[in-house]
Structure 1
Amino acid sequence: MKKQFLLSCLLVTLLSSFFPGQTGAAIPASQDPRKPDMVTIYHATPDGKTKKIQTNMPLIHRASISPSGRFVYGERIGYGKEDPTIPFLYDIQTKKLMQLSGIAKWSNKQDVLYIRENDGIVRLTTTDGKKTVLVPGIVQYPVLDFAISPDEQYLAFTRKDVKAADSKGSAHLYIQHLPTLQIKKHDQYEWRKDKTALEEKYYWMPNSKKLFYVTKEASKELDMPTGMKTDHKTTVLPSYSSDMKYQYIKTEQEEYVLDLQTGKKNFLKDKEGYTAYLLRVLWSPIGHQFAAEQLLNWSSSQDNYMLMFVFHAPNKFGNPFGNHVNPGLLSTYMKDQDNYQLIGWAGDGKSFYFADLASTHIYDFGPGKINWETYEFYEKR
């Protein structure tokens, strides 16, 4: 009994030390019963060799790594239905964890975070903590989401006109030229709310010449040099390799990598000959390799069992850490303990990172947190 009491005190102390009196946390850390497991990061090469990096970063459910591999941005999903998702920044070098002021995204080239803060957008230099306001916050005209162009010359973001009588045109798309901070409005449309999992709302072409963005039931394409817009009937955003030589395409009937030079379709299949069924595809910042999360199967409790999938070149792809017969180490939502996810490529494009994050099993959250129709979390971001 004494041991159990001491263990409970230790868990409360750990949680309180990692999340001390944070603003916006609806449930105090002492009332959050989840065990504070530490995140393990793996630095991997496409052939399957890994190096383990132990951290002091607990209860992170999503993560992405900075271009240098030093910093990790993470999000902790709140325990109760009214608890917000809390963003954090972790320094692998100093092992320091700090709570951020808003949901953030990495620069493509530097250890710089762009943060949605106080209804606007700020830029945070992680090495010295310097903040620069890029888009001032306006309460009645908040920023909903944003995306940085690969060449880091442009910032695309959408504001919502809270007072608009009709939601069809209440989302306003802006493009900001970052070197000059000049902003131009480009479109009015109806915002698409996340229906199941979190959805990407923008996609920049690797050459930064086109922006694709999702509307409520379709998507649009903005040509940067001319300002012309093209409507598309699908909400699926495109996916191109960094060298613009290949495009990943998945339809209801086919899944393949298209060689943009020859027009050849390179079909992606598992060892049994079935479609690979990739869910998340992360292209290397150099060349045309990609790492992806591949659906293995669903369990009876609605968990997704996953494998890591790596594409090197046509006819050179597969699961470097296991396969459908012998899954090996990697499974997302494995039982109620493991949550392996890709978190990004190294800046040189020769290796990538994945992490064993905090469990996102449905029973690790409080009552009312799960939408039982979609099996997704209610999140306040």
Structure 2
Amino acid sequence: MKRYISLLLMLLLLGNVATAQGNEQGTEIFKVSIDGKKKETVAKFSEMYHPHISPKGNYFYMEKMQHQSEVPVSYSLYHLKTKKWMSLAQEASWYPLSEVIAYIKQNQIVSLLPETEKEITIYSAPEGKVVDSFLIAPNEKYMTILQLNKKTNNHELVLLDMKTLKHRVNDQFKPSATEGEKMRWLPNGNKVFYKTSTSMKELDLPSGLKYVHKLKELPDYSADLHFRLEQEGPFNSSILNVKTGKKNQFGSGTSERFLEQLYWAPTGHTFVGSIQGPTSNAQDAYQSFVYSDGKNTMELPGLFRFLKTIDNIRFSGWSTDQKWVYFADLESIHFFRYMN
């Protein structure tokens, strides 16, 4: 008992040191073939987190925890061929199709073409409004923006045409208090779902109409809209065949129950799934990744982790031909690592 108390005190008082020591091996970016037979190291870094590959596979966007700095997180782009780094001033996200990255800067939404390092202002919030977040449609035709109206304390949903940059407010509502994603586009770019304080709403672009849904979570569809992830509670997920209404069409259904998150491929209904499996002992809970092409489901080898290293492996993106899946092996910062 004294050992655990001493350890917890050490982690609280010397958390930065312990975390830094826990990342001695750094971060490895690697890719795995969809048949699970090949694994190739792409790059190795020190203490990089949340890596996301660009749509055409030329860059990685990454974040770095700076444990002993006044700026807790730094943001960078890494070019895989030239191995050159580019610093970013803030958190950013890739366009769905283009080698362009976007971020919020001084209450504006700005896009950056890494090749030229040129910034283009896409949207500037009016006086009295504050940009909260944005999301680009999968076909890159539109962007939805959530902005706070400081006078009413409401969120406004702004729809912006990515070609003309014309925009208009489509809805106003009390903001959702939940954490995480607030908006999600349908893969074909025709609808966007968003959370309010009381419900889930949908903006249908072809008609301009808005609908209220009883959904608790943002809908998660495959690229071809044939399947949807259904999450009915912790360790209670399934995959719905939208056309037939049947569930668990991928594999036996056993693993689908524990699906934590799906990473749909850019086309079709292939996916990689992150699975968390509970046991009678929480310390023996595990995480693994599966690949499914709609007919066969298999566990990707070498990606199985127990709870003490559960925060190691992160999905980082698909290759352009969808034959490879990128992952990042992050040195664990789970406190069980230090209980040896």
| TM-score normalised by length of structure 1 | 0.74
SS, match of residue 248 in structure 2:
strand
Larger strand proportion, structure 1 or 2? Answer: 2
Q: Report what 1:284 is aligned to.
A: 265
Q: Report what 2:143 is aligned to.
A: 155
2:91 is aligned with 1:103: yes
State the distance in 2 between where 1:205 and 1:335 align: 34
8 Å contact 1:333–1:339 — kept in the other structure? Answer: no
Residues 1:312 and 1:269: Cα distance change in structure 2 (over 3 Å)? closer
2:207 to 202, 226, 247: 226
2:170 is aligned with 1:186: yes
8 Å contact 1:341–1:357 — kept in the other structure? Answer: yes
2:248 is aligned with 1:266: yes
Residues 1:255 and 1:74: Cα distance change in structure 2 (over 3 Å)? same
Q: Report what 2:322 is aligned to.
A: 349
SS, match of residue 61 in structure 1:
strand
| Cα deviation, residue 54, structure 1 | 4.5
SS, match of residue 217 in structure 2:
coil
Query: In the TM superposition, what are the counterparts of 1:165-244 in structure 2 within 5 Å?
Result: 167=153, 170-195=154-179, 199-244=180-225
SS, match of residue 243 in structure 2:
coil
Q: CA RMSD in A?
A: 3.2
State how many pairs are aligned. Answer: 320
Residues 1:160 and 1:302: Cα distance change in structure 2 (over 3 Å)? farther
Residues 1:213 and 1:77: Cα distance change in structure 2 (over 3 Å)? farther
| Cα deviation, residue 261, structure 1 | 3.0
Query: In the TM superposition, what are the counterparts of 1:1-381 in structure 2 within 5 Å?
Result: 33=20, 35=23, 37-77=25-65, 79=67, 83-136=71-124, 140-164=128-152, 167=153, 170-195=154-179, 199-252=180-233, 255-266=237-248, 273=254, 275-297=256-278, 305-314=286-295, 316-321=296-301, 328-331=302-305, 334-335=308-309, 339-362=312-335
State the distance in 2 between where 1:172 and 1:155 align: 13
8 Å contact 2:155–2:173 — kept in the other structure? Answer: yes
SS, match of residue 276 in structure 1:
helix
Q: Report what 1:374 is aligned to.
A: none
| Cα deviation, residue 33, structure 1 | 4.3
Gaps of 5+ in 1: 1-28, 322-327, 365-381
8 Å contact 1:346–1:352 — kept in the other structure? Answer: yes
Gaps of 5+ in 2: 1-15
SS, match of residue 293 in structure 2:
strand
Letter in 2 for 1:345: W
Letter in 2 for 1:45: S
State the distance in 2 between where 1:227 and 1:245 align: 24
